[in-house]
Amino acid sequence: MLADGIAESVEFTKLAVSGAQTRDVLERQLPVGLGLRPDVVSVVVGVNDTLRCTFDIHAVAARLDEVYAAFTGQGAVLLTACLPDPGTMLGLPGALARPLARRQRAVNAVVHALSERYGAVHLHAAEGAWTTEPAMWSADRLHPSERGHRQLAVRFHAVLAERGVATGVAPLAEPEFPVPARAASLWWLATAGTGWVVRRCTDLLPQLVTLAVDEMRHRARGTSARLDLRAAHGVSTALAALSAQEQRPEAA
């Protein structure tokens, strides 16, 4: 969608895979991507990290920093975006949704900071009407539908055009293909969707239940703000660690 609007002749390569986390982008996709020497590269990742019991904002920040630095170091224009929190998108109960929202806010804060550091073209896509419009999302409520992808492509194209990077015609906002029938969506939920739920039940759910209990305990005591402060502190220390790493060679 976006590639055709950048220039008349563009070679597009998709490295994204379903379920990829920042570790996958760093270890598997980055080496291939660097070999392609792209002029424009999109790195939109992080939600899957929040849905794992191994979530660590320090590790997420370090991986994204390395990926962003590598691509921009080659001269590529970097595209990034902050994303809606999965708990809200999935319609989870508050006690379960709030810990996931806190994680996603942490990821978004890191993406914001690193996007500014590396001069990325960044979209604030975590909020707005598009997050609550069903037509913008696929059956899993975590990935945009064709209309949702086109919405992002249109917004990215507008910013790239302002920078003189995109010289082609803007992508169409309206879908090219028919919206999947309800039966098709239900079939996906009953097959691939069920597998996803089973995997998360053995991975994320035990930890999420613990987080939810902690959430309710703090809420009952009126100390929920402490959880927000703890998450904010995690982001600050993660970014500070990256800054310290950059300054260390100079000090030597």
Could you report the per-residue pLDDT of 69-84, keeping only the tens digit for each? Answer: 999 999 999 999 999 9
List the one residue out of 90, 38, 47 whose CA is nearest residue 67: 38
Model pLDDT, residue 205: 83
Residue 18 near residue 188, CB atoms below 8 Å: no
β-sheet bridge partners, residue 81: 123
Model pLDDT, residue 9: 83
Beta-carbon-side half-sphere exposure of residue 202 (alpha carbons within 13 Å)? 5
Beta-carbon-side half-sphere exposure of residue 120 (alpha carbons within 13 Å)? 28
Dist. CA 130–CA 148, nearest whole Å? 8
- Per-chain mean pLDDT for the chain: 89
Query: What are the tokens at 33?
Result: 């991507």
Model pLDDT, residue 252: 42
Dist. CA 71–CA 196, nearest whole Å? 31
Query: What are the tokens at 177?
Result: 């293909």
pLDDT higher at 179 or 248: 179
Could you report the per-residue pLDDT of 51-65, keeping only the tens digit for each? Answer: 999 999 999 999 999
pLDDT band of 99, cuts 50, 70, 90: very high
Using a 10 angstrom Cβ sphere, with 0-12 exposed, 13-18 middle and 19 or more buried, the burial of residue 114 is buried
| Max Cα distance, the chain (Å) | 63
How far apart, in Å, are the Cα atoms of 120 and each of 3, 94, 105, 169, 182?
Answer: 17, 33, 19, 22, 38
Dist. CA 189–CA 232, nearest whole Å? 35
- With residues binned 3-state (H G I as helix, E B as strand, rest as coil), the percentages for the chain, rounded to 5, are 65, 5, 30
Using a 10 angstrom Cβ sphere, with 0-12 exposed, 13-18 middle and 19 or more buried, the burial of residue 73 is exposed
Dist. CA 119–CA 72, nearest whole Å? 9
Rounded to 5°, the CA angle 228-231-234 comes to 150
- Tally of domains in the chain: 1
Sign of CA dihedral 74, 81, 145, 130: negative
CATH number for the domain that contains residue 43: 3.40.50.1110
Model pLDDT, residue 251: 46
Full domain range(s) for residue 108: 3-251
Model pLDDT, residue 193: 52
pLDDT higher at 18 or 236: 236
Could you report the per-residue pLDDT of 131-142, keeping only the tens digit for each? Answer: 999 889 887 788
